[in-house]
Structure 1
Amino acid sequence: MHFRTAGKKASAFFLAALLAFSSGIQPALAAGISLVRDAETENMIREFSTPIWRAAGLLPSSVRVYLVQDNRINAFVTAGQRMFLNTGLITQADTPLEVIGVIAHETGHMAGGHLVRGQEAMSKMSLPMIASMVLGIGAMAAGAGDAGMAIIAGGSHIAQRSVLAYSRQQEGAADQAGATYLQRAGMSGKGMLDLFSKFRDQEALSTTQQDPFIQSHPISEDRLASLEERVNASPYFDQTDTPERIHQFKMVQAKLFGFVDEPSVTMRRFPQSDQSDYARYARAIAYHKLGQNEQSLAEIDALLKKEADNPYVWELKGQVLFESGRAAEAVGPYHRALSLKQGEPQLQLGLAQALLAIENSGLGGSGAAAGTPIASAAAPLSPSISDKPQLLAKLDQTEIARIALGYLQTSSKTDPENPTTFFQLAIAHGRLNNIGMAELSTAEYYEAIGAMRDARGHAATAQRHFKEGSPEWLRAQDIMQEEG
């Protein structure tokens, strides 16, 4: 999946940086998995999942959800309360309840402590181990700057085909547990039953034609019968998806189709005769991938007439403008998106990236003098400025960097596992002549992607700029002493 479209100076810079950072690990890449970052999809999944996790006695803030870029239906969990869902599960499901059913089933595996069989390393997997095989880091892979959709490619040691091989006993237990959690949460298990019934029909197919889920989650007639009995007995069996949930789900499906499929496929799936919100959303992305950004923006603006309060449509507009080299114009849409979804770390990151990419009259101007650290961040961007590219272009580069730094620092606290945030923090600190913090952020970036040799080198350089025993000095020390 390749999201990079037309780009100018900023895009060229980030692409060069991406290639430089990934060149040392590309030989290790093989048939691995690709992780996709998207705030809209992730938030939808968390909305679906939170009642289930609570019903299972799990702390929602402790569960990590990862989207796997794969058109086939699959889902799996690993130790450390990490749940992986294929994009194909979302795009091929007929209803939100079907996805919710799979989430409940996987929660049953998670709460039951079912471990990965024959893959002991996976039971100890941490995010840096996943990210150590990074090919595309966050927003850079999505067009050198987008913080919405982004790919992180994993190595062969976590290839999906060998991730899970649950026993039939574990499968039945996960079914029953999932159905229990759904009932406790006041939700129907019909979606789980419907989807698993479809999988039963796949058992007659060759393994090359089956979805991975059926291979790692064997479905027997007895298992399906037991699940049907349990689900039908629930007082919530007849509960259906609300119109609002269905609309949310179809918008996410359209976005995934737009980003995952080739533009020609998207255009066939959503022809111009289709003027629905979903079709416009998908076509806007397809046009952008083709570099036809005016057509893309026209679709987005038409969509915004009906979806004016949808932060993710504003985010997409910011992405299209940013990736077409119009960073100052992208700030307003990103700012609007963040005002509608306050505190969303990926939107904060997107806004900060757009700010840092602005070419303005302050470049090379009244920045900090050499050796003068500027540690503080500026107040958030004013709405009176964010929508006026001509005013943004007049801001001093130092002021822009300080504003961006504030958003990035907040984003990193909420989403500390995003390597792109550290990459952008390094840029912001560098602009402000905070050499120690720029080096420390670079070290944290390398640590996040598992390149520990580079991480330790930058941490050692950073440490020389801090007072011994200070929090920054100690953080650098931790990185230097980390194994790997």
Structure 2
Amino acid sequence: MLRNLRSGLAAGPLIAALALLPAQVAATEDYGLPSLAGASQAASDEEYRLGRAWLRQFRAQAPLWQDPFAQEYVESLVARLTPHSALTDMRTVVTLVESRTLNAFAVPGGVVGLNAGLFAFAEEEDAAASVVAHELGHLSQRHYARGMERAEQTQLPAMAAMLAGMLIAASGAGNAGIAAAMGSQAALLQDQLTYSRRFEQEADRIGLQAMTQAGFDPQAMVRMFRAMQRQVSLQGGNPPEFLLTHPLTESRLSDIASRASQLEAAKSEREAPTYHLIRARALLALHERTPQQAVTRLAQGEAPDTARRYLDALIAAEGGNIDQALSELDRLADALPDLAILPASAAEAAFQAGRYDEAIQRSRRLLRLMPGHVPTRLILGEALLQRDPDEAYRVLRELTESRPEHPQAFALLAEAAGRSGREAWGHLARAEQLQLSGEIDRAVRQLDVASDVAERDGDRSAASRIETRREDFIDYRETMEKF
């Protein structure tokens, strides 16, 4: 697996508190079908700025699941659902958390987060899609802002205070952070009590429509929520993290079932096993020290044989049996030539085993067929660092230009720039990686170093870019100071 840059801090309290605060208190009345008035209103630029600043702080404090294959899959899932989710602002960004708790969350500004535990729990792709569709429903209806709309002038300050409290929780303050977030909105709580149930039903409705129109089975949302409800019973009333922020009453579940029954299940061809392959990776990440538990968990569901063989190959590679792993991955790739994850995983395994030339060869072969495959471009860039830093810089520079929110790619670019004699650009790339990871003060200092180097070397192109980014960084810092 590619170099992991994540923080080791626990995120449990944060993820338990995240999503949209109005959903934390369940009303007892059944409000029926909510109105979608105002659904077309896009998130304000300030909400967008707050959300992206929050994401940078989150990256600095949460245990991120930096799996490029899972990242690409979730991004494609969000892209598939977004056009049907009534979102007028399509600028979404995905973050993944290495936590075994079942949870997903949405933050104003288009931030969508998923725990690895969601993949462990959901045994079918449509069930996982139902959770993502529900979160996109919250975003499209701007539930967070609408929950505070009566506060008018205090809406955005309260939002910043709420998000700041969540970051306190992520940094280890636990319940104190949640209390701070709740306390920041005490004056607004009564309105939230009124809106919370309406918001959940609204997100359910939008989510059901979106997943059906995107080709997923709407009954999967019913199955997913019933499975969560059963877990509550089995665990003595201790609900999954997701239900702490999205309370599930029997009347709400009945409403979901009723609406799903009125929608026609998508008629699709045989499901590709991609979801199950990503689920295998999630289980292995969660049971890294005891991989046999990942095997057992995968076998308990209805995962196809392809996923089981894939997991066995990943475990063989991590155990040093690289020839066995590559042979199995190649057989799977021959049987399923349309799945880029299989040959890309073989390139990844070769790189991890120190077979850099083979990793480069395998990556380039795949990229000739699928030039935009981000996980393979990352593998190629990192492998080239060991053989041809100048070419690595070119590959990674192109990647960061197309993926400007990718901290891992910038970290590799900084290394490639340094090794290929592009010192000023290397410091600039490191500054980009730092600001994306929430270390904005260090990022600004890194820009100072980059500027000095560019001046020393007479690199006017780098100097111009550095000054442009300095203005952006100062703007980021002003927004982040609200936390």
Aligned to 1:244: 271
The one of 468, 471, 481 equivalent to 1:474 is 468
Distance in 2 of aligned mates of 1:30 and 1:90: 17
Asked which structure has the greater RCO (Cα within 8 Å, sep 6+), the reply is 2
Structure 1 position 220 matched with structure 2 position 249: yes
Q: CA deviation at 1:190?
A: 0.8
Q: CA deviation at 1:205?
A: 5.0
Structure 2 residues not aligned, in runs of 5+ = 15-61, 149-157, 183-191
Give the alignment's TM-score, normalised by structure 2: 0.71
The 1:220/1:275 distance shift into structure 2, 3 A limit, reads closer
Q: CA deviation at 1:412?
A: 0.4
Deviates more, 1:38-47 or 1:103-112: 38-47
Distance in 2 of aligned mates of 1:421 and 1:206: 41
Distance in 2 of aligned mates of 1:305 and 1:224: 43
Aligned to 1:104: 133
Distance in 1 of aligned mates of 2:475 and 2:159: 25
Aligned to 1:36: 65
Structure 1 position 420 matched with structure 2 position 445: no
Contact 1:439–1:461 (CA under 8 A) maintained in structure 2 = yes
Contact 1:105–1:174 (CA under 8 A) maintained in structure 2 = yes
Q: Secondary structure at the match of 2:377?
A: helix
The 1:203/1:280 distance shift into structure 2, 3 A limit, reads closer
Distance in 2 of aligned mates of 1:172 and 1:89: 21
For residues 4-41 of structure 1, the C-alpha deviation after alignment (integer angstroms, 9 at most, x for no partner) is 9xxxxxxxxx79xx6xxx9xx87x76756432233433
The 1:122/1:250 distance shift into structure 2, 3 A limit, reads farther
Structure 1 position 68 matched with structure 2 position 97: yes
Query: What residue identity is the alignment partner of 2:131?
Result: V
The 1:173/1:253 distance shift into structure 2, 3 A limit, reads same
Structure 1 position 301 matched with structure 2 position 301: no
Aligned to 1:346: 375
Structure 1 position 265 matched with structure 2 position 253: no
Q: CA deviation at 1:186?
A: 5.8
Contact 1:79–1:122 (CA under 8 A) maintained in structure 2 = no
The 1:48/1:445 distance shift into structure 2, 3 A limit, reads closer
Q: CA deviation at 1:293?
A: 2.6
Contact 1:442–1:455 (CA under 8 A) maintained in structure 2 = yes
Residues 205-216 of structure 1: matches in 2 within 5 Å? 209-216=238-245
Structure 1 position 229 matched with structure 2 position 258: yes
Distance in 1 of aligned mates of 2:286 and 2:100: 8
The one of 35, 45, 55 equivalent to 2:74 is 45
Residues 115-130 of structure 1: matches in 2 within 5 Å? 115=144, 120-121=159-160
The structure in which a higher percent of residues are helix is 2
Q: Secondary structure at the match of 2:405?
A: coil
Give the alignment's TM-score, normalised by structure 1: 0.70
Structure 1 residues not aligned, in runs of 5+ = 5-13, 134-153, 359-399
Q: Percent of counterpart pairs with the same letter? A: 24
Aligned to 2:447: 459
Structure 1 position 253 matched with structure 2 position 279: yes
Structure 1 position 440 matched with structure 2 position 440: no
The 1:88/1:224 distance shift into structure 2, 3 A limit, reads same
Distance in 1 of aligned mates of 2:340 and 2:232: 41
Aligned to 1:190: 219
Distance in 2 of aligned mates of 1:322 and 1:87: 24
Deviates more, 1:43-52 or 1:173-182: 43-52
Q: Secondary structure at the match of 2:143?
A: coil
Structure 1 position 289 matched with structure 2 position 277: no
Residues 389-404 of structure 1: matches in 2 within 5 Å? 400-404=388-392
Q: Secondary structure at the match of 1:410?
A: helix
Distance in 2 of aligned mates of 1:89 and 1:270: 13
Q: CA RMSD in A?
A: 3.7
For residues 344-369 of structure 1, the C-alpha deviation after alignment (integer angstroms, 9 at most, x for no partner) is 333212211100123xxxxxxxxxxx
The 1:292/1:415 distance shift into structure 2, 3 A limit, reads same
Query: What residue identity is the alignment partner of 1:252?
Result: I
Contact 1:440–1:462 (CA under 8 A) maintained in structure 2 = yes
